Amino acid sequence: MIERSRARGRTPWMDGVHLLWSVWIFIVPLFNHGFDMRWLGFTLATYPIFLLFYYKCLSSARGAQEVFALALVALCMATLPWYPSGLTYFIYGCVMLGGCYRNMRVYLLWVVTLNVFVITECVYLGFSWPSYVSIPLTTLIIGVTVNAERSSDEKDAELKLSHDEVRRLAATAERERIGRDLHDLLGHTLSLITLKLELARKLRERGQEQAAAREADEAERVARHALAEVRAAVTGIRSTDMAAELASARLLLESSGVRLDYETLPADVPQQVERTLALVLRESATNIARHARATQAWVKVQVDGPQLTLCIADNGRGGLGDEGNGLCGLRERVAGIHGELGIVSARGKGTRLTIRVDLRRFAARELPASDQEQAA
């Protein structure tokens, strides 16, 4: 359990805070016969054992944790005839037992069974009736609450791992694609350049200078063409895929309790536009998860002729004040693709970001790499 806390970025000392509930060991005598030497002796003898078992429950694997949780229950039942404060050990044992089972029904069955044994012993020893009610209620309420929180923490950790996995898989797929493109591109092009230069050398040796010059010029043209394509491929390495970013945003927001409904971009959106919009989405999703206090978010896409509109909205608290570095960075990104960014953020009515881009500005740029190089 301590290792799981460290994995979630929590200090193990936070689990030690629950030891404050052991103050009931010192409160129970106030409702019975008061503090006496027998109570003091049993407290001095059993409390260190309780602390050891509690630490073992936190630091051991699930299988061993079950053993030490049941040992706390056994410690209670063994000392109960002389030490009513030992009921506190029973409550701790029932709560710590929840860390051994992912199935809540199995855990509740264990708690009910153990309560039957303890209540039977309390009846035999002649305990007052409030004990028959308070102990089962306390173990059930605290046990279910603590283990529900623990289950929620585990789900958050799983969502975070899924979020990281989506990014990793997207990056791996992109690297593989770029690797295939570079292999296909450079394998053919470099072979062609080599052949051209070998032919130019042989022609020069034979005294055919003009033919050799033509082959050298052809090799130069092929090399420039390859250079332009390599630059385009390297640019693709740094690009961000919108589909992967949408999946990542959904995982991020769901881990924060925000439902995301989204639409995807058309397949023919220019790469530069898609890359910029993906980065805008990443920044917006992070802001919603951290600051918006929203329960619902939307990503909507509308294409009206050459006009592309991307809307990112939430139903959070809204009320954005002065634009900080985050919003200024978004405006700069959108301006880089000659787009317009609109922000509506009324207090209490959420925030809506609207990005409009005229795709006609990029139509003229969709030229073959050789034409781009000649234009340059």
Domains, the chain, in order of start with CATH, read 2-160 (no CATH), 241-246+257-376 (3.30.565.10)
For residues 218-233, average pLDDT? 79
Query: Which of 87, 68, 91, 66 has its CA nearest to residue 77?
Result: 87
- pLDDT tens by residue, 51-63: 888 888 877 776 6
Question: With 90 as the cut, is the pLDDT of residue 210 above it?
Answer: no
Query: Which of 312, 265, 310 has its CA nearest to residue 286?
Result: 312
Residue of 135 and 325 predicted with greater confidence = 135
- pLDDT tens by residue, 70-81: 898 899 889 888
The pLDDT value given to residue 17: 66
Question: With 50 as the cut, is the pLDDT of residue 369 above it?
Answer: no
What pTM value is reported for the model? Answer: 0.44
CA angle 199, 374, 271 (to 5 degrees): 115
Query: Which of 89, 95, 86 has its CA nearest to residue 127?
Result: 86
Q: Which two tokens stand for residue 368?
A: 């073959």
Predicted confidence band at 362 (pLDDT cuts at 50, 70, 90)?
confident
The pLDDT value given to residue 368: 42
Predicted confidence band at 371 (pLDDT cuts at 50, 70, 90)?
very low
For residues 226-251, average pLDDT? 71
Helical H runs in 206-269?
Answer: 209-237, 242-255
Give 59's DSSP letter. Answer: H
Share of the chain above pLDDT 70, in %: 76
Based on its alpha-carbon atoms, the radius of gyration of the chain, rounded to whole angstroms, reads 34
- How far is Cα 231 from Cα 235, in angstroms, rounded to an integer? 6
Asked if 367 and 339 count as a contact pair (C-beta separation under 8 A), the reply is no
- pLDDT tens by residue, 89-116: 888 888 888 767 667 788 888 888 888 9
Strand partners, 304: 307
Q: Which two tokens stand for residue 295?
A: 């329960």
For residues 349-372, average pLDDT? 71
For residues 255-284, average pLDDT? 86
User: To which H or E segment does residue 344 belong?
Assistant: strand 340-344
User: DSSP letters along 123-151, please?
Assistant: HHHT--HHHHHHHHHHHHHHHHHHHHHHH
The pLDDT value given to residue 296: 92
Q: Which amino acid is at 41?
A: G
Identify which of 82-86, 297-301, 335-339 has the greatest average pLDDT: 297-301
The pLDDT value given to residue 366: 46
Taking CB atoms within 8 Å and a gap of at least 24, the contacts of 371-375 are: 372/228, 373/224, 373/225, 373/227, 373/228
- How far is Cα 341 from Cα 320, in angstroms, rounded to an integer? 15
For residues 304-308, average pLDDT? 89
Instruction: Please state, rounded to an integer, the average pLDDT across all residues of the chain.
Output: 78
Residue reference for tokens 């909507």: 300
Give 305's DSSP letter. Answer: T
Residue of 238 and 34 predicted with greater confidence = 34
- How far is Cα 121 from Cα 98, in angstroms, rounded to an integer? 23
Phi/psi zone of residue 254: left (φ > 0), alpha (ψ -120 to 50 degrees), beta? alpha
Pairing of strands 259-262, 296-304: parallel
The pLDDT value given to residue 374: 40
Separation of CA 57 from chain center: 27
Burial class (CB in 10 A: 0-12, 13-18, 19+), 260: buried
Coil, strand or helix at 375? helix
Question: With 70 as the cut, is the pLDDT of residue 323 above it?
Answer: no
For residues 22-49, average pLDDT? 80
Residue of 165 and 224 predicted with greater confidence = 224
For residues 220-230, average pLDDT? 81
Residues 6+ apart with CB under 8 A from 307: 356, 357, 358, 359
For residues 18-46, average pLDDT? 77
Predicted confidence band at 354 (pLDDT cuts at 50, 70, 90)?
very high
The pLDDT value given to residue 21: 74
- pLDDT tens by residue, 154-174: 666 666 666 666 667 766 766
Predicted confidence band at 373 (pLDDT cuts at 50, 70, 90)?
very low
The pLDDT value given to residue 308: 93
